[in-house]
Amino acid sequence: MKTTISMIATSLLTMAIASNVYAEEKRYIITFKQGKGEAVKSQMREKGGRKALEMRRQNAMAAHLPEKALQALRKNPNIEFIEEDVKRYPMSQQVPFGIPMVQADQLSDLQAGNRTVCIIDSGYDIVHEDLSGNAVTGSSDPSGAGNWYEDQSGHGTHVAGTIAAMNNDTGVVGVMPSSNINLHIVKVFGGDGWAYSSSLMAAAEVCADNGANVINMSLGGERGNVFERRAFDSLNNRGILSIAAAGNDGNTRHSYPASYDSVVSVGALDSNKEIWASSQQTNQVELSAPGVQVLSSVPTGTGRIASLSVAGAEIEAAPISGSPLGNISGALENCGTAESACNSAAGKVCLIERGNISFAEKVVNCEAGGGIAAVIYNNEAGLLSSATLGETVTNIPSVGISDSDGSALLDQLGTNATLANNASDYEYFDGTSMATPHVAGVAALVWSHFPNCSNTEIRAALTATAEDLGVSGRDNAYGYGLVRAKAAYDYLETNGCTGSI
């Protein structure tokens, strides 16, 4: 959890001394002969060992042992054996903030096998620990994007995790985590990250051919065309609900296919239900959903998870794309906006304010001054996420933090900071691309409880029951508001549906 910097009360001197004294010690399990425990403990203490845990029934104890104590005890005839007390970690999973926010945790998805969600994207990591057990099929784009069950960019796997990451005690959970929802994957994006409008329409027809009820399109582009509009109108008339990202340019221009009348356009919210600054705001935005710092699956081993602690206090941090992996500790040094080499940062962690020059240049200037890691804080409200080094190669890890945490750290200069960029099977992404699968998942979840409803009735229920945000009534930022699964379920339970399109 994020801790307020002003609440830090840990003695840095005490921590440093303890770290130096015990750095060489490992923890071991010592199993001794019946009745010989006291003699063994006495020798252990004499050689500088420290008892950590006693297990009387097993004639054993756990202890921290310096090397000299370990060697002496190995020669003790009263000891049966000594082995390292190896670490164990919780095999737990996280519930991303968006799942309860859209009320997905309030509805069962055990009956979801009567619906199919088709994801048009960059592919699906079929061996991922949180996706491999799903009911999934797929189609590869014949134009050369590659196999549908591989994902070069990670985008499609992230989208799929939000919809259907499994409830398996690891990783995360999706909107429908029981593995009962049917998924069909159509890959249109390869490593270059784009496709044509005609390829999108061919993919949508593949979705229809494979029984799709809902199509997720976390994609878009400028300018619509008649061909595409007619195709989505046709899909809508055939009972398919198409859902697409509103766009990430932070302006009022329309993005397509989201801005066709027959497609649901989705805006992105943060964890406080505030519209994301980069979410496009148009008269076509219909619903909004979580899309900022969304944790989900990425192709195995390709993710990045960042962490930062200062004087033992955890601070929310986001990895900077392109930053190398690493775990670094050092004193915190103020480098301002790092518009030149930060020569006071030798052997230290650079604290840098965003602005004036690129992130890559800031990290390069930290490194040029001898800095061992970089922490860049935002110059506007919120966490600095989605930052990138582009094509620049650096040798030190770097992370982004919020403006408020950065300001607080200016009062902690010289204290020890520990920064880490670690490989992961999961990562935080921002964008209307991340909001879209929340809506697609909710639509399929609600529809699975009312399979006789038409796509237009499901759509109407979602808009009628969305949580009104922003100005009263529909607006161009939030649309009708935050999509809510349980509210839509209750609405249909009360009002029913005719099944007509």
Active site residues: 121, 155, 433
Tokens 């007509």 — which residue?
Answer: 500
For residue 456, report the phi and psi dihedrals to the nearest 5 degrees: -70, -35
8 A C-beta contact, residue 155 and residue 220? no
Distance between first and last Cα of the chain? 47
Element (H, E) at 215: strand 214-217
Alpha-carbon torsion 480, 482, 485, 489, what sign? Answer: negative
Query: In the beta sheet, which residues pair with residue 297?
Result: 426
Strand arrangement of the beta sheet that strand 326-334 belongs to = 313-315, 303-310, 416-424, 326-334, 349-353, 373-377, 398-401, 318-319
Burial of 361 (0-12, 13-18, 19+ CB in 10 A): middle
Strand arrangement of the beta sheet that strand 285-290 belongs to = 135-140, 182-187, 116-121, 214-217, 241-245, 263-269, 285-290
Give CA–CA dist 480/483, Å, rounded. Answer: 8
Nearest to 250 by CA among 297, 198, 292, 188: 292
Neighbours of 283 (CB within 10 A): 13
Tokens 């590659």 — which residue?
Answer: 146
Strands 313-315 and 303-310: antiparallel
Tokens 């607080």 — which residue?
Answer: 408
Angle at 176 between CA 171 and CA 181, to 5 degrees: 120
Neighbours of 130 (CB within 10 A): 27
Assigned token pair, 334: 């103020």
Q: Which residues contact 74 (CB under 8 A, 6 or more apart)?
A: 82
8 A C-beta contact, residue 377 and residue 406? yes
Nearest to 291 by CA among 445, 482, 117: 482
For residue 257, whether the previous peptide bond is cis, meaning omega lies within 30 degrees of 0, is yes
Give CA–CA dist 383/1, Å, rounded. Answer: 14
Residue 143, SS3? coil
